Amino acid sequence: MTIKTLSFLFVAYSFTLGTHTCASSIIDKNTIVNVKTQKLLLLIDTKEEYGKSCEEYSYISSLQRLKLVKKNFLLGDILSDSLAIPIINPDQLTATNLTDCNLQDIDISAFTYREKLSYLNENIVTIEVYQYEYGAGAAHGNSNISYYSYNREYGMRIDWENLFGQNEAFDKYVFKRVVNEIADEDFITYFKTSDQLLNFRTSGYFAIVNEGLLIQYGKYEITPGSSGLPSIVVPKEVLKQYMSKEMYEMCFYSQGLMIAKGMHNQ
C-alpha cells in the first residue's frame, strides 16, 4: 500500500490459526461525532529476511460511512473511497497486539493507516487520512496526511472546481502563499520539483475544515524532510471573496442558519 493513495474497494476480514485469533478487530467510538472507527492489527511473518511487519489500521467502515450520507441509495465516492486491506496469506499471520509489535526487533517493517473525521456540518464532511511506512533496516520512516471532503447529499467527493470554479485569481492567491510561506526555494531548485507547487488543486491536498480551506503537502515535495508536512490555511473571510455565496454557505453554514438568513432577506 502506498503513501498518498486511497483504494477503491472495502474488505473487512479476520484470520484465525487453530484456536488463536490472528487479527484483532475492535470497535471504538470516534470522539468528534457519533461515528465508529474499525480497528485491525496484523503481525505478519513471511519467514524471510526482513520479512516481519506490523500493520495497524483504524478506519471508518462502509457501514459507518453510510451514516454520513443523507441519501445512501446512491453509492457515492465516500463509499467507493473506503479502505481496501490487501489479502494476506493466513499462514503468515501471528497472534499479536500493539505491544507485541512495539517490542519487535529493528528488522521489522511497519505500516499505519488511520482515518478520522476532521470536519462535519449538515452539508460537508472531511475525512483525514494519516499513513506511516517504515521499511526494515531503514534510517527512518515516512508519514503523510491527506484530506478528502464530500458532499453529504449523495456522498460525492468535492473537487477544486466544485468549490472555486475556474477562478484564476484564487489559484494565484494560493500559489503565492505556498511559495512565500512554506515552499523551500533551494530544495525545489535542486530537485527540480517546481511542478509540485500546483498540487494544491489535487484531491487529497485540500479540504474544508473548521478554520477555512486547508492546503496540505506531503514530505519531500516542496521542502526537505526536516520540514515535516508543510501546510497553510486559507481563512473563511478570504474564501468568502472567491467562493459563490451558495457554495460558501453550504461549506460553513448550518441548515438552520441558512434558513434564517433566507427568511431575513425576504
- Going residue by residue through the chain, which has 266 residues, state the pLDDT in tens, using 9 for 90 and above: 444 444 333 333 333 333 233 454 454 544 345 789 999 999 999 988 888 899 999 999 999 998 899 886 677 899 999 998 888 888 998 877 767 676 666 688 999 999 999 999 999 999 999 999 999 888 889 999 999 999 999 999 999 999 999 999 999 999 999 999 999 999 999 999 999 999 999 999 999 999 999 999 999 999 999 899 999 999 999 999 999 999 999 999 875 544 444 444 45
186: domain CATH number is: 3.90.640.20
Do 78 and 165 belong together in one domain?
Answer: no
Please tell me the total count of domains within the chain: 2
Do 221 and 247 belong together in one domain?
Answer: yes
**For residue 201, which of 220, 216, 181 has the smallest C-alpha distance?**
216
The domain of 222 spans: 160-266
Question: Are the C-beta atoms of residues 28 and 22 closer than 8 Å to each other?
Answer: no
pTM: 0.83
Look at the block and give the residue holding cell 454557505: 249
Do 138 and 164 belong together in one domain?
Answer: no
Distance from C-alpha of 86 to C-alpha of 11, rounded to nearest angstrom: 8
Do 94 and 169 belong together in one domain?
Answer: no
The residue out of 108, 140, 158 marking a domain boundary is 158
Question: Are the C-beta atoms of residues 59 and 111 closer than 8 Å to each other?
Answer: no
Question: Are the C-beta atoms of residues 219 and 225 closer than 8 Å to each other?
Answer: yes
Do 9 and 107 belong together in one domain?
Answer: yes
Look at the block and give the residue holding cell 467507493: 80
Do 124 and 249 belong together in one domain?
Answer: no
Do 121 and 195 belong together in one domain?
Answer: no
The upper half-sphere exposure of residue 164, i.e. CA atoms within 13 Å in the direction of its Cβ, equals 22
Do 22 and 108 belong together in one domain?
Answer: yes
Do 33 and 148 belong together in one domain?
Answer: yes
In which element (H, E) is residue 110 found? strand 108-120
Q: Please report the pLDDT score of residue 160 as a whole number.
A: 98
Do 79 and 96 belong together in one domain?
Answer: yes
Do 88 and 64 belong together in one domain?
Answer: yes
Do 133 and 194 belong together in one domain?
Answer: no
The residue out of 118, 140, 158 marking a domain boundary is 158
